[in-house]
A and B are shown apart, each in its own frame.
Chain A
Amino acid sequence: MSAFPGSPYILAGLFLLFVATTVAGAVLAVSTPRIIRSVIGLATSSIGLAGLYYFLNSPFLALMEILIYVGAVCVTIIFAIMLAEPDEPAPEGRRGRTWAGAAAMLVVSGIIFWGIARLGLTGNWTTVAIRNTDGRVERIGVELLTTYSLAFEVISIVLLVAILGALAIARVGRHREE
C-alpha cells in the first residue's frame, strides 16, 4: 500500500480516535450538569464528526462541519447562555425518583440504539446500479446549481425567514418588558 509499513495502523488509530472523540463529546454534551461544558461537548463531537467525514472522502464537508458547528452554532449557543442562565437546575423531587428516571431513559435509548444498529448491521444494503463515485467539490457545485437548484433556492429563503423571525421574536420580548 505504501512505503511505510505501519501506515495502515496509524490510519486505523486515527479513525478510532475520531470515533472516540465523536461519541465522548456527545456523552459529555448530554451528561454534564453545566451547560457551558455541554457546549464544549458538542464542539468536541463536531470535530470528531468532521474527522469521520474526512474518512468518507469529503474534506469539503469536514471543513464546513468545523466552520458551521464549532464556529457558528457553538458560539451562538454560548452567547445565549451568557444572556440567559448558565446552569442546569438541581433536580426537583426525590433523589431516587430522578435516578429511576435516568435508568429508565438509559434503557429506552439502549433499545433505540440496539434496534437501529441492528438494522444497519443486518440490513440487506444494495448498491445502486449506475453509481457515480466522484465526490469532488466541483461536482457538488455543479449538482447544487443544476439538479438541486430548487432546494438550494428554497433553503436560502428558509435562512432569510429564520433571520427575520429571530429578529422579530427577540424584539417582541424586549417591547413587552418596557
Chain B
Amino acid sequence: MNIADLYSKPAVYLTVAALLLAIGIFGLVRRRTLVGMLISGEIIFAAAALNFMTVGHFFADAAVGQIFVLFIMGLAAAEVAIALSIVIAVYRNYHSIKTAELTELKG
C-alpha cells in the first residue's frame, strides 16, 4: 500500500473508527465518574460519525453522510445538555459524582 494515497482508502477511516469505538467502550467501563463516562460516550459518538462519513463518501451519496453526521451532532449536543444537568442534580443531592456511591436503587 502506497503511503501517499492512504487518505483515499476507506479501510483506513473504517479502522480509525473501530479504534475510536474500542477506546470509547474501554473508557465507558473503566471510568469511575459520571463526567468521565460522558466523555467516553462522546468518543463512541465520534466513531459512529466517522463511519457514516466514510460510507457516505466512498460508497453512497456524498451529501447524505454529511447530513447524518449533522443529525448525530445535534443528538450528541442534546445528550450532553441532559446528562450534564443530571450530573449537577446528582452532585447537589449526593455531593459526589462517583458512580460507586450512587447506589440508592441497589435494593
Contact = CB atoms under 8 A, between A and B. Distances in A.
Interface of A: 8-9, 11-12, 15-16, 19, 22-23, 26-27, 29-31, 35, 38-39, 41-42, 45-46, 49, 52-53, 55-58, 60-61, 64-65, 68-69, 72-73, 76-77, 79-81, 83-85, 88-89, 91-92, 101-102, 105-106, 108-110, 112-113, 116-117, 120-121, 125-128, 131-136, 139-140, 143-144, 148, 151, 155, 158-159, 161-163, 165-167, 169-170, 172-174, 176-177
Nearest to B89: A173
B63 A139 contact: yes
A168 to B, nearest CB: 8
For the complex of A and B, the 4 pairs showing the least CB-CB separation, nearest first, are A30-B27, A120-B14, A135-B62, A173-B89
Contact of B39 (A19, A39, A56): A39
Interface in B50-78: 50, 53-54, 56-67, 69-71, 73-78
B35 A56 contact: no
A56 B23 contact: no
A29 B106 CA distance: 29
A16 B18 contact: no
Given A117-B14, A166-B82, A173-B93, 20 more contacts: A12-B5, A23-B19, A26-B20, A30-B24, A30-B39, A42-B42, A60-B66, A61-B70, A64-B70, A73-B80, A85-B96, A108-B29, A112-B21, A112-B22, A136-B63, A140-B70, A166-B84, A169-B82, A169-B88, A174-B92
- Chain A, interface SS category: helix
Nearest to B38: A77
7 contacts: A58-B57, A77-B84, A109-B22, A125-B10, A125-B59, A140-B66, A170-B85
Nearest to B95: A85
Given A64-B73, A121-B15, A127-B59, A29 B43 contact: yes
A58 B69 CA distance: 11
B88 A80 contact: yes
B102 interface: no
Contacts of A60: 66
Given A61-B69, A84-B91, A116-B18, A169 B62 contact: no
Contacts of B85: 165-167, 169-170
